[in-house]
Structure 1
Amino acid sequence: MEQKDKYIRFDWAIKRLLRNKANFGVLEGFLTVLLGEDIHILEILESEGNQQREDDKFNRVDIKARNSKDEIILVEVQNTRELYYLERILYGVAKTITEHIDLGEIYSNVKKVYSISILYFDIGQGSDYLYHGQNTFLGVHTGDHLKVTTKEQGAIVRKLPAEIFPEYFLIRVNEFNKVAVTPLEEWIEYLKTGCIRPNTKAPGLEEARKKLVYYNMDKAEKLAYDRHIDAVMIQNDVLSTAKLEGREEGHLLGLEEGRQRGLEEGMKKGLEQGIEQGIEQGIEQGIEQGIEKGIVKEKTITARKLKSLNIPVDTIIQVTGLSLEEIEKL
């Protein structure tokens, strides 16, 4: 029974197992939960996205699907670990659109594309594990949503650009850290941990419990899968090590730069404070010396007047505090 609890990672299953029509139910359940409408897969399209090489450029699975409105749409499921990821999915969506319209066809045949990215790496900052993006046209001054007039089945209708332009879903698997309650949360839990609850009722997961069992694979499939898991773990370890080393190097560089700046600032402030203190002390000393010279001058004037009045020298010394030599020089 314990063996039945080990399930194949979704990133491997979507490349190797879920392209089989017998397993469409797993994908249909996942897309139904994510998009919020019944999705029925007609076929898996063969394109660069179905290449089996580890280093292929277009790591995606293209799915032609019918939604609950009986419209044919293209769903692009991507699962990669790459830099410049937004540029990558933009290129993938543009290529998917052009792959499915022939030269000379009218633009009404352009298919809507859903780009669903299952990310097992840190793409950037954000507090959520699921992000959705699509094109809208807002009035610059009024803030209203533009509706475009078009023709559909012989009738003139108005559509929002969001009904035509691609939609993007970014699932940041590693950011999911909560108890799964909703079907979507159960799916994200499986994407992160590989665990599926025995009593799950989430669309697609009940079927996944039967078809994505690790021990149901033959020996060659298990070997290939184990190598894939090892490669993922090694890659994550290399990236984590590089990130840690980068932080340490940045910390050391920051300390050195901080010391240098601190020394420069200290010298600058010390010089400024020294100048200020010097000026202040100079002013104080100047005032003191000025007062002292003024007192001496006043005593000299007083002694000269007393001497001109023939006042005895002893009396002049007592009054002014000047010495005998200073008085005789007057």
Structure 2
Amino acid sequence: MPQTHIRFDWAIKKLLRNKANYGVLAGFLSELLGKQIKIQSILEGESNQQTEDDKLNRVDILAENDQGELILIEVQNSTEQDYFHRMLYGTSRLITDFLEKGEPYGKIKKVYSVNVVYFSLGQGEDYIYKGILDFRGLHLEDRLGLSINQQKLFNIQEVYEIFPEYYVIKVNNFNEVAKTPLDEWIYFLKKSQIKEEFTAQGLAEAKENLLVDSLSEAERANYLRFMENRRYEISLIESSRSEGRLEGIEEGKQQEKMNIARTLKQKGTELDIITEVTGLSREEIEKL
């Protein structure tokens, strides 16, 4: 039985900011983005914020790789209806905050927005989604690309490489069958376990550095308190869902009775008979 490790959402706030654990983060991002990522530094987004209550304070990790690109990583447990808007806000703020005054637009940093969500975000059955910008002609349906000069000037091949890229990992949609190295990471995100046969980049470091037993006594107490709070939140969510399902069933039954009563009334059936058949009161039937 694999050991249970520290949950990623706690680790990302407490442990993965440490330089000693950059390998864990770099491994995860390398598997996700499909290219080798080396973490240059973890940026404290607060340094370029205007106020203490700035929404960017909610960012879990803001990393810069050795190419000068920015990688925004957020983990969200609770449902947020405007989460897509939050993703847009995060990348927009980074683009403006990290462009020095007077610098040309060509100096804008590439931004990757990586979102690990443990709730049902939008509609979609897959567990990993990637979003990039693609310009298409309305008439000719051709793709708008870079000129040769632009490709040489900015050292890129495609327009989408300029714009933010979005990744959404819907952890709960994963069926726990790890077929690829990236799947091994998703398995860890969902189960907090790393199987012996896993070979994905960064998981060896995670296996060694993210053990609950490696925490100090104070950290372990905080972590256990965090886990207890998560269990309580999940319990509340499940309870509300159950209540909602029951309410939905009752509403459906009531609507069905109303439809039957309306049909019988239109056919001239006596109220007493409609009442007996549907269980509705005379007052309810008369209002139909």
| TM-score bracket, shorter-length normalisation | 0.7 to 0.9
Which residue of the other structure, out of 123, 133, 137, is the alignment partner of 1:135?
Answer: 133
Map of 1:322 onto structure 2? none
Query: Residue 281 of structure 2 aligns with which residue?
Result: none
2:69 paired with 1:73: yes
Matches within 5 A, 1:178-189: 178-189=176-187
Task: State the Cα deviation string for residues 173-231 of structure 1 (Å, max 9, x = none).
Answer: 11111421211111000100011012322100011111111101011000111111111
Which residue among 31, 34, 48 is the counterpart of 1:33?
Answer: 31
Paired residue for 2:236?
A: 238
Segments ≥4 residues shifted beyond 2 Å: 148-161
Is contact 2:12–2:60 with CA below 8 Å preserved after alignment? no
1:173: which partner in 2? 171
Q: TM-score, normalised by structure 1?
A: 0.73
Q: How many residues are aligned here?
A: 261
CA RMSD of aligned residues (A): 2.5
**1:235 to partner: Cα distance:** 1.1
Question: C-alpha distance in 1, partners of 2:56/2:64?
Answer: 21
Take 2:33 and 2:214, find their aligned partners in 1: how far apart are those partners?
Answer: 30
Question: Which whole-Å CA distance do the structure 2 matches of 1:125 and 1:156 have between them?
Answer: 36
CA, structure 1 residues 9+137, in 2 after alignment: closer, same or farther (shift >3 Å)?
same
Deviation at 1:56, TM superposition (A): 8.7
C-alpha displacement of 1:156: 8.1
Task: Indicate conservation of the 8 Å contact 1:79/1:117, yes or no.
Answer: yes
CA contact (8 A) 1:60 1:77 kept: yes
* Equivalent position amino acid for 2:71 in 1: V
Give percent identity, aligned residues only: 38
Q: Which has the higher contact order (CA 8 A, sep 6+)?
A: 2
Q: Are 1:113 and 2:105 an aligned pair?
A: no
* 8 Å Cα contact 2:38-2:65 kept in structure 1: yes
CA deviation after TM superposition for structure 1 residue 129, in Å: 0.6
CA distance in 1, matches of 2:156, 2:186: 36
Distance 1:61 1:222 in 2: 21
TM-score by length of 2: 0.84
- C-alpha separation between the residues in 2 aligned to 1:48 and 1:86? 22
User: 3-state DSSP class of the match of 1:63?
Assistant: strand
Q: Return the alpha-carbon distance in structure 2 between the equivalents of residues 116 and 77 of structure 1.
A: 5
Q: Which residue of 1 aligns with 2:84?
A: 86
- Structure number with bigger Rg: 1
1:63 and 2:63 matched: yes
Q: Which residue identity is paired with 1:63?
A: A
Where does residue 160 of structure 1 map in the other structure? 158
Pair 1:10–1:157, CA change in 2 (3 A): closer
Name the aligned partner's letter for residue 234 of structure 1: Y
Q: Distance in 1 between matches of 2:219 and 2:152?
A: 52
Question: 144-153 or 172-181: which moved more?
Answer: 144-153
Match of 2:193 in 1: 195
In the alignment, the residues of structure 1 paired with residue 97 and residue 202 of structure 2 have an alpha-carbon distance, to the nearest angstrom, of: 29
